[in-house]
Amino acid sequence: MFTALIKKEFLILSRDMHGLAVLFAMPAAFILIMSLALQDTFHSNRAAELNRYVVLVDQPSSATQQFIDLLATQPIGAAQENILSRKDAEQALRSKKLDFIVILNKEFAATLADPTQLIERSIITIVIDPAINTARVSLFSTVIQSALAQLRTEKILTAFFPLGMGNNASKQGGDAYKNLMNIEYFAPNADSSSIYKINPSSSVQQNVPAWLVFAMFFVAIPMGTLLVTENKQGTLARLSSLHIHPLMMLLAKTLPYAVINQLQAAMMLLVGIYLVPLAGGDALRIGNNFFVLWMVLTAVSFAAVGFGLLIATLAKTPEQATVLSGTSNILLGAIGGVMVPKFVMPDFMQALTQISPMAWGLEASLDTLLRQATVTDVAPQLAMLSTFGIVCALFATWLYQRRQFTS
């Protein structure tokens, strides 16, 4: 009988092609669009966004030319040279052809010419497009300050070592500082040859697990709609007359959706690995942690199916099932860091994410993909997801039995 019930559910699902298309097409589209849209936000090299600037000089000198040449060696690259007046530069800023105007004030050359003189007034003015975000402004200002400090250090060393040793000392010092710093991304469980030791996260690493978790919870919509429809058509009453236990009936309804969740997981991972790179984005890297990733996604599926079962038993009409499941999924996704990455949220919102089961699944997925987490590492999230699924399923069963008894 149990096998026949599962076969019935698969047959009904196969006739709902529009619902199945939403479960697979929606997350695939979100992964592709959001991975490409947020690609630059996650990219480690933002220098390409800082090279739209021009340097204007109030009083040309050898020091100003040295500074301009020094900027050309920085990550922001050389300044544009086709704009010579402040009026033209402001017009270019207004027409969005420039992001920054760097003005070397009259005091610039005189201040650097005497390295013993304290800098008490601004010698550089930076005019910025107000639409530029503060992170880019901060990064650009840091580059300018670094170049100015390097040039001043060189001037001071030249003053004390007039035979030219200062230039070499400054250059050697700068190179030495660069060599003293090495950046590695922490991966506690990766071996020494793992690519995760040298490669940072990317938008696709964030978006694939995020929208996959979101899509897995969306099975609540077809699950709720079908259960309500069968109840109205009297199908459930006829099955109950055959003395089929309600728990068996509900369990038979969950298994096909668990299979759909597994197919969703396989398809979304393939989208991240193959389709996003074809569109110009980064490829998803899943490493060798297949078993842990499968356990995490299975736990997410367990929670999603249990939640869907609860929504299905709470709704009394197909419209209620659609609205209730859709609204709750969107709210859980928004709170859980699916639509807005958790790391850009303020502290109180980051703490609030912990009430969403989607956040548990997303956090465990990111730990697996980025930090090569072990089963022990993600055990708390697996336990929370499993408990959530069991509690939802038990409450749904009790509610279903209560309605059958009172009807």
User: pLDDT in tens for each of the 407 residues of the chain?
Assistant: 667 777 777 777 777 777 777 788 888 888 888 888 777 666 655 555 677 888 888 888 888 888 888 888 887 788 877 777 888 888 888 888 888 889 888 888 777 777 666 666 788 888 888 877 777 788 888 888 888 888 888 777 777 665 555 555 555 555 555 555 665 666 555 554 444 444 456 788 888 999 999 999 988 888 888 887 877 777 777 777 777 777 777 778 888 889 999 999 999 999 999 999 998 888 888 877 889 999 999 999 999 999 988 988 888 888 888 888 888 988 999 998 888 888 778 888 888 889 999 999 999 998 888 877 888 989 999 999 999 999 998 898 888 877 766 65
* Closest by Cα among 137, 148, 74, 64 to 105: 64
Match 């800082």 to its residue by tokens: 50
- Is 374 in contact with 292 (CB distance < 8 Å)? yes
- Between the alpha carbon of residue 59 and those of residues 62, 63, 101, 104, the distances in Å are 10, 10, 16, 8
Phi, psi of 288 (to 5 degrees): -110, 15
For residue 128, give the nearest of 109, 115, 141 by alpha carbon: 141
Task: State the chain's maximal CA–CA distance in angstroms.
Answer: 103
